[in-house]
Amino acid sequence: SQQGEEDPQALSIQEGENATMNCSYKTSINNLQWYRQNSGRGLVHLILIRSNEREKHSGRLRVTLDTSKKSSSLLITASRAADTASYFCATSIGGTYKYIFGTGTRLKVLA
Amino acid sequence: DVKVTQSSRYLVKRTGEKVFLECVQDMDHENMFWYRQDPGLGLRLIYFSYDVKMKEKGDIPEGYSVSREKKERFSLILESASTNQTSMYLCASSLWGESQYEQYFGPGTRLTVT
């Protein structure tokens, strides 16, 4: 099974609303990243949060990390139609080069 | 800006053909990766390279090989393409080191094997 699993699988909201998506993982991590993928394109890095951090902000993005629950959430505030994309979390496990990606949350923002 | 380019956006090959997918990055990154992306399965790591001529198997290396003769270029080779290798292939690069785990992705190659 996947190390990182996003929830929900799909999310549809109105423009201006906030979007929250969650990522759960199974083993201890060094850090966790969130990526965005527009339809049929490559992934774009959004934000990285380290295992000793609890919250991080970048523009309209807010990421939290709860290592006791092995979960992270990505909040996009005041969403725009351009935020329509798939969002993936990726976890890094102890000193390795590997990142393990989840299956993603498909976000649709309706204008 | 970091730029990762892939040789083709779309590729159609026949079963049994040898297929080369090329990836080039322009930021002097040590690490380069090849993933495949399939619906419902997310991204799965095929191979990884941390230096020229160095490579390590990822989670699904069977049916694939790689080549890294120059630091900026990482090639994925399908020795004998099969229909179950129809997929989106994504190349990525990153700097080596604790604080530099961000990956930069190319636009992807959608490969169809008929």
- Residue B75: inside a domain: yes
Scanning A11-70 for CB atoms below 8 A from B yields: 30-31, 33, 35, 40-45, 48
A-B contacts (CB, under 8 Å): 56
Question: Tokens 């380019």 label which residue?
Answer: B5
Chain B positions in Cβ-Cβ contact with residue A33 (cut-off 8 Å):
101-103
Chain A positions in Cβ-Cβ contact with residue B41 (cut-off 8 Å):
103
- Residue B36: inside a domain: yes
| Per-residue pLDDT, B40 | 83
Chain B positions in Cβ-Cβ contact with residue A42 (cut-off 8 Å):
4, 90, 92, 105-108
b/e B4-28 (16+ beta carbons within 10 angstroms → b): bebebeebebeeeeebebbbbbeee
Is residue B41 less than 8 Å (CB to CB) from chain A? yes
- Residue B104: inside a domain: no
More confident residue, B1 or A80: A80
More confident residue, A1 or B66: B66
- The tokens for B47 are 């191979």
Whether the predicted pLDDT of A87 surpasses 90:
yes
- Give the integer Cα–Cα distance in Å for A98 and A77: 30
Q: What is the mean pLDDT of residues A24-38?
A: 91
Q: What is the mean pLDDT of residues A68-97?
A: 91
Contact B101 A42 (CB under 8 A): no
Whether the predicted pLDDT of A10 surpasses 80:
yes
Domain count, chain B: 1
Which residue segment(s) compose the domain that B76 sits in? 4-97
Q: Residue B63: CB partners within 8 Å, gap ≥ 6?
A: B78, B79, B80, B82, B85
- Residue B30: inside a domain: yes
- Residue B91: inside a domain: yes
Chain B positions in Cβ-Cβ contact with residue A102 (cut-off 8 Å):
42
| Per-residue pLDDT, A1 | 37
Contact A104 B42 (CB under 8 A): yes
Contact B90 A43 (CB under 8 A): yes
Give the class (CATH, top level) of A5-110.
mainly beta
| Per-residue pLDDT, A7 | 85
- Give the integer Cα–Cα distance in Å for B75 and A4: 27
Which domain CATH number covers B55? 2.60.40.10
Q: How far is CA B35 from the centre of its chain?
A: 5
Contact A42 B102 (CB under 8 A): no
Q: What is the mean pLDDT of residues A47-76?
A: 96
Q: Per-residue confidence of chain B (114 residues) as pLDDT tens digits? A: 669 999 999 999 999 999 999 999 998 999 999 999 998 888 999 999 988 989 999 999 999 999 999 999 999 999 999 999 999 999 999 987 543 578 999 999 999 999
| Per-residue pLDDT, A3 | 59
| Per-residue pLDDT, A29 | 86
- Residue B22: inside a domain: yes
| Per-residue pLDDT, A100 | 87
Scanning B51-110 for CB atoms below 8 A from A yields: 56, 58, 88, 90, 92, 96, 101-108, 110
